[in-house]
Each structure stands twice: as structure tokens, then as C-alpha cells.
């Protein structure tokens, strides 16, 4: 069976054709995965502008789907279902995908499957690596999310912890903006950090010890927090700027003067920031795996593309004889193949969406 996947939750318009293999160990194979990125449009504004995003999805969706079918050598009649991201994400963006998927399902007389965006990121691990040993603890870390899930059986995701404030990718993007490095910040900081000294600048780690009032069902001590780290980098940047221009910090802020950092200092800030983020992510991930006697560990989502995170994950896993998994770089960031894979999982479990399906910007998993 082949499924068409559609993903429009943020700033990528994506469509993919994924097919079942009949092999229980490696259940799915990608026939096509087309991604139209809007990054050049949003870069000018330093972040995603929701209204521009939804308008661009409308322009791109038909062509992207046509291309995914052509690349996958697939006709509408070859499909068995359509899967679409229902949420979470930007509501205007989600609506484009949901409306398109409903119309296509009605026109081609196909069943519709609604997919949670983070279930898609988690299933990207299985799409890439085949079924992984369960129970597994999976960290989903992107521009919008930093959450730990326990997967105790295929297709069942139990939330263990999440960020109390910024997502890790959001922290990357904000720090890059402070340093004048452009959007998105993750890939640039990742690259610059390679030549920096990761102990050059003292930055704080936030450790939470108590449950969140908004989520009393979670213990809370595995939660993440990155806004303090971002503020510390901002404070450092401002104090260096003040030193350079001999202005008071207050004046500096008022005039929004960025210091002319040397390439080495930017590399040092990037490396120091990245060390704290990677350590915070991996410490909690491995602690959760220990508590839940996990047989494997995975990291998915845009930040899983990070080279230091990947290297340290493999390293810590090898030392503890714990199998670790990441998606390919293309499957790390938002794409429809992962939505198609999660859709096939739900389809086989018999969970279909009604034609009254609506986008849900805050859909829980
Ligand atoms: O999963 P994704 O494409 O979209 C969301 O669902 O948010 O993730 C995008 C995020 C951005 O914040 C971007 O800066 C970050 O992933 N990112 C990275 C890297 N590549 C992308 N962060 C750190 N290192 C990278 N190499
Ligand atoms: Zn994502």
C-alpha cells in the first residue's frame, strides 16, 4: 500500500509518497519526499511570519503534491490513503494542508488519516532505521518543541517531560539573531562552534527540581528550560558591546548597537552556548532512559541535525552499550515522509479521520 503524506505546519510545504514493504523489521520505504522551503522568505524578517507562511503554502501545495506523485512514479489510483499533519503548528499553515488533504481524499475517494506533527518526528526514526528496540525514550527537539517521550509499543507515545519556556531550536535561533548570524540559527551556530572554545564563556545551566504547576501529572525534574541561557548570552553580548564603545549598558540597549565581534569570539560564544544545550538535552535523555529501563534511545526533529548532539549521543550510547538512533539530515527537519510513515502506522491501527477534520494549533499528543 502507498500513502500520500502532506506537511504544512510551519515554513515547509512538503508532500511525500511512502510505501509499505511487508517487512516487519523495516516497515516503510520512501518513494518520494518533496520539500519546498520558505526559509529565504522568512530570513528577511529574522523568523517565521505566520501570514506569509500560510500564503506561500497556498501557492506551493499543488505543485509540491504533483511533484511528489511524479517523483514517486505514483498515480492517484495507486494510493491507499492520504495522511496530513493536523497540528500542532501555525493554524493558518496547518489549514492549507488539512483543506488540501480533505479535498484530495474526497475527489480521489481515499481514506484520510490525521497525524500529530511530533508523532511524525518520532516515526522518522523508524522510517530511517527500521523498528527500534522498545521501550525507547525519544527526544523530539525542534524550533517549536523540546519533549521527551516514552515509546513502549509501536505507535504509543507517552510524554515524560518538555520545555517550560523556549524550545532548544528557538534558543539557537534567538542566539543567532543576537550575534547577527541570520535565520535559521541552528545550522550556522553548529558550523561556527566547530572552531570555537566551548569553555571560553561561562553560561548557566538551568536545572528544574519541582513539578510544573501547569502539568502536575509530570514529575518535572526532567523538564527543560532554555530562556535563562538565551538571556545570559544576551547579557554577555550587551556587556561586551558596552566595553567596546565605552557606553553604559543601558545606552547600548537603547541604541541597539551590536558589538563588532571577531570571528573567534563569535565561534567561542557559539561553542559555549552549544555545549550547554547539548549537555542539557543528553543528560535528561539518558536519565529518562535509565529510569524507564529503555532498550534504545532516539533523537528526532530539526535540532537532531546538530553535529555535536549526534556525536555525543553516539559516544554516550556506545559507552553505556545503549543503541541510539537519529534520522537522516533530510528526515530531521520538517518533511512529509515522516507524516506519511506515522499515517501508515495509524491507518494500520484502523484510526481514520472524518471529513469534518479541522486543524488544531495546540493538538496534544
Ligand atoms: O523540525 P524543524 O524543521 O521545525 C520545527 O518543527 O520547528 O526544526 C527547525 C529548528 C530550527 O530552530 C533550526 O534552527 C534548528 O531546527 N536546527 C538546528 C540545526 N539544524 C536545524 N539546530 C541546531 N543545529 C543544527 N544543525
Ligand atoms: Zn518539526
Query: For atom 14 of ligand 1, which residue has the closest CA?
Result: 186
Measured distance CA(119)–CA(117) in Å, rounded: 5
Average pLDDT over residues 20-24: 97
Residue 102: all three cell numbers together: 480533505
Whether 169 is in the pocket of ligand 1, judged by its Cβ within 6 Å, is yes
With a CB cutoff of 8 Å and minimum separation 6, the contacts of 40 are: none
Q: What residue's CA is closest to ligand 1, atom 16?
A: 302
Q: pLDDT by residue (tens digit) across 141-156?
A: 999 999 999 999 999 9
**Cβ atoms of residues 208 and 234 within 8 Å:** no
Residues 6 or more apart whose CB falls under 8 angstroms from that of 234 comprise 178
Task: Find the mean pLDDT for residues 72-90.
Answer: 98
The mean pLDDT value for 206-228 works out to 86
The pTM of this model reads 0.94
Please give the pLDDT value at position 29. Answer: 98
Evaluate: CB of 185 within 6 angstroms of ligand 1: yes
CA distance 91 to 201: 39
Cis previous bond, 88, omega within 30: yes
Percent of the chain whose predicted confidence (pLDDT) is above 90: 83
Q: Per residue in 31-54, pLDDT tens?
A: 999 999 888 888 888 788 888 999
Q: Summarize the confidence of residues 160-171 as an average pLDDT.
A: 96
User: From the CA of 171, which ligand is nearest?
Assistant: 1
Q: Is 186 in the pocket of ligand 1 (CB under 6 A)?
A: yes
Closest CA to 3 of 87, 63, 98, 72: 72
Please tell me if the CB atom of residue 14 comes closer than 6 angstroms to any atom of ligand 1: no
Percent above pLDDT 70 for the chain: 96
Give yes or no for residue 305 CB within 6 A of ligand 1: yes
- Is residue 120 within 8 A of residue 339, CB to CB? The reply is yes
- CA–centroid distance, 144 to ligand 2, in Å, is 7
Question: What pLDDT does residue 281 have?
Answer: 98
Q: Is the CB of 303 under 6 A from ligand 1?
A: yes
| pLDDT for residue 233 | 96
pLDDT tops 60 at residue 252: no
* Closest atom of ligand 1 relative to the 176 alpha carbon: 14
Ligand 2 centroid, distance to 11 Cα (angstroms): 10
Q: Residue 333 CA: which ligand 1 atom is closest?
A: 3
| C-alpha of residue 224 to centroid of ligand 1, in Å | 17
Which residues lie below 8 Å from residue 60, measured CB to CB, with a gap of 6+? 13, 36
| Burial track 87-126 (b if 16+ CB lie within 10 A, e otherwise) | bbbbbbbbbbbbbbbbebbeeeebebbbbbbbbbbbbbbb
Q: Give the cell for residue 256.
A: 541597539
For residue 262, give the 3-state DSSP assignment.
Answer: coil
What distance in angstroms lies between residue 22's CA and the mean position of ligand 2's atoms?
28
Owner of C-alpha cell 553535529: 307
| Average pLDDT value over all residues in the chain | 94
Ligand at minimal distance from the CA of 118 is 2
> Closest Cα to atom 13, ligand 1: which residue?
186
Amino acid at each position: 500500500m502507498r500513502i500520500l503524506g502532506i506537511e504544512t505546519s510551519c515554513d515547509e510545504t512538503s508532500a511525500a509518497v511512502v510505501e509499505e514493504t511487508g517487512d516487519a523489521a523495516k516497515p516503510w520505504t520512501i518513494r518520494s519526499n518533496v520539500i519546498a522551503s520558505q526559509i529565504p522568505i522568512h530570513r528577511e524578517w529574522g523568523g517565521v511570519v505566520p501570514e506569509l507562511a500560510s500564503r506561500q503554502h497556498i501557492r506551493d501545495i499543488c505543485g509540491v503534491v504533483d511533484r511528489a506523485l511524479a517523483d514517486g512514479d505514483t498515480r492517484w489510483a495507486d494510493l491507499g490513503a492520504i495522511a496530513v499533519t493536523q497540528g500542532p503548528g501555525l493554524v493558518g499553515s496547518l489549514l492549507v494542508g488539512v483543506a488540501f488533504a480533505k479535498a484530495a481524499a474526497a475527489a480521489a475517494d481515499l481514506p484520510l488519516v490525521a497525524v500529530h506533527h511530533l508523532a511524525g518526528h518520532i516515526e522518522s526514526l523508524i522510517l530511517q532505521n527500521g523498528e527500534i528496540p522498545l521501550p525507547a525514550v525519544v527526544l523530539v527537539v525542534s524550533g517549536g518543541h523540546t519533549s521527551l517521550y516514552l515509546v513502549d509499543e509501536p505507535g504509543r507515545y507517552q510524554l515524560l517531560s518538555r520545555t517550560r519556556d523556549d524550545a532548544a531550536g528557538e534558543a539557537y535561533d534567538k542566539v543567532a539573531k543576537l550575534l547577527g548570524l541570520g535565520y535559521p540559527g541552528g545550522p550556522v551556530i553548529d558550523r561556527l562552534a566547530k572552531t570555537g572554545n566551548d569553555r571560553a564563556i561561562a553560561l548557566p545551566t538551568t536545572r528544574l527540581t519541582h513539578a510544573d504547576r501547569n502539568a502536575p501529572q509530570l514529575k518535572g525534574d526532567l523538564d527543560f528550560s532554555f530562556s535563562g541561557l538565551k538571556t545570559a548570552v544576551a547579557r554577555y553580548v550587551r556587556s561586551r558591546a558596552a566595553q567596546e564603545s565605552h557606553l553604559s549598558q543601558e545606552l547600548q540597549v537603547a541604541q541597539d548597537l551590536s558589538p563588532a565581534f571577531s570571528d573567534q569570539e563569535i565561534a567561542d560564544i557559539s561553542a559555549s552556548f552549544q555545549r550547554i544545550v547539548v549537555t542539557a538535552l543528553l543528560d535528561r535523555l539518558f536519565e529518562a532512559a535509565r529510569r524507564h529501563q529503555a532498550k534504545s534511545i532516539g533523537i528526532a526533529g530539526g535540532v537532531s541535525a546538530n553535529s555535536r548532539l549526534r556525536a555525543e549521543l553516539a559516544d554516550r550510547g556506545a559507552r553505556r552499550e545503549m543503541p541510539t538512533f537519529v534520522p537522516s539530515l533530510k528526515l530531521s527537519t520538517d518533511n512529509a515522509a515522516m507524516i506519511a510513515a506515522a499515517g501508515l502506522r495509524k491507518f494500520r491501527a484502523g484510526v481514520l479521520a472524518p471529513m469534518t477534520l479541522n486543524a488544531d494549533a495546540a493538538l496534544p499528543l
